[in-house]
Amino acid sequence: MSAVARANRLTPYLFLAPAAVVLIFALLYPIGYMIYASFLDWSPSQRIGQAEFVGLKNYANLLHDRAFHESFWVTIKFAFVVVTLEMVLGVGLALLLDRNIRGMSVLRTVFILPMMIAPIVVGLMWRYMYHPTVGIFNRTIKSWGFDEGIPWLSDSTWSFVAVVIADVWQWTPFIFILALAAMQSLPRSALEAAEIDGASEWQKITLIKIPLMMPVLVVTLLLRLIDAFKVLEVILVLTNGGPGLSTEIIALRIFRTAQEFQELGEAAAMSNVLLLMLMALTIGMFMYTKIQEARAARMRAAAEQTES
């Protein structure tokens, strides 16, 4: 092989080398560090080299840690509720606003504003609105003639509802944007054919729009699930996981274990469990994408054979 041919083969790898170095130091090294730390009895007062190696003890402790089990189920419940509500509201808004109405561009801009606000600010804003005496919600309820307001942040049931409302308010625009983009990229020929056949608006939505949007909606669903498992700032500011453990998700439990209890090894073990959960969701998203790509390729091949 000539020197020129060898250089041509190596050129793509040389261009990828800087990105690979950054990936190793910014992603793989911290993950490896966290995995190693999960096998140690490590406190902030020690260097990692001084920590005692305890093997799988931290993981075994998680099996018997009732607080971690509670946080795990709160995380599952929170993710399921918020993602379901956000998908329904986001797709519904996209269907509603996918039409030519005067001022529609302004409405679309207003709908995506919550997503642009920092999570800490969102938590503080909703905390003030949930205030038992001066918050807008309880003031409105009392103005309607009720003697008492709702204990938004002091009752275990209502506090969960409160954090769900805040998350749905902030992240429904994410679903809305992706659903609207998918809807506007649908083939007009299919919709025109449905109109010619006399299909109603509901039939066009259920039989044409939603099925054609399904690949985008599934990927969007998985992305929001992954993000819902990692929510921290809004819940930290709103309730700090309380009252009790009613709103403490795994990310907040990891934060408290490291900061308040100063058990860095156990916090690292929790982080690895969360990482495995997120990896499972990510692999599911990639598998679904590959299946859809293979299906689309088969359909194109069949169409080409039919035309020939």
CA distances from 10 to 4, 19, 24 (A): 10, 15, 20
Q: Which two tokens stand for residue 225?
A: 């699930």
Give the orientation angle of helix 66-97 with respect to helix 210-228, to 10 degrees.
150
What is the chain's pLDDT, residue by residue, as a tens digit (308 residues)?
Answer: 566 666 677 777 788 888 888 877 888 888 888 899 999 998 888 888 888 899 899 999 999 999 999 999 999 999 999 999 999 999 998 888 877 777 677 777 788 888 888 889 999 999 999 988 888 999 998 888 887 889 999 899 999 999 999 999 999 999 998 898 888 887 777 777 877 877 788 888 888 888 888 888 888 998 899 899 988 889 999 999 888 889 999 999 999 998 888 899 999 999 999 999 888 888 888 888 788 778 767 766 765 676 56
Are residues 59 and 275 in contact, defined by beta-carbon separation less than 8 angstroms? no
Maximum Cα–Cα distance for the chain, whole Å?
88
pLDDT digits (tens, 9 = 90+) for 96-129: 887 777 767 777 778 888 888 888 999 999 999 9
CB atoms within 10 A of CB 296: 11
CB 55 within 8 A of CB 38: no
**C-beta separation of 265 from 41 below 8 A:** yes
Return d(Cα 125, Cα 211) in angstroms, integer.
38
Dig out the tokens for 240 from the structure.
Answer: 């700090």
CA distances from 253 to 66, 89, 241, 268, 269 (A): 12, 29, 8, 11, 12
pTM above 0.75, yes or no: yes
- Whole-angstrom distance, CA of residue 296 vs CA of residue 59: 43
Q: What is the CATH number of domain 67-307?
A: 1.10.3720.10
Are the C-beta atoms of residues 254 and 241 closer than 8 Å to each other? no
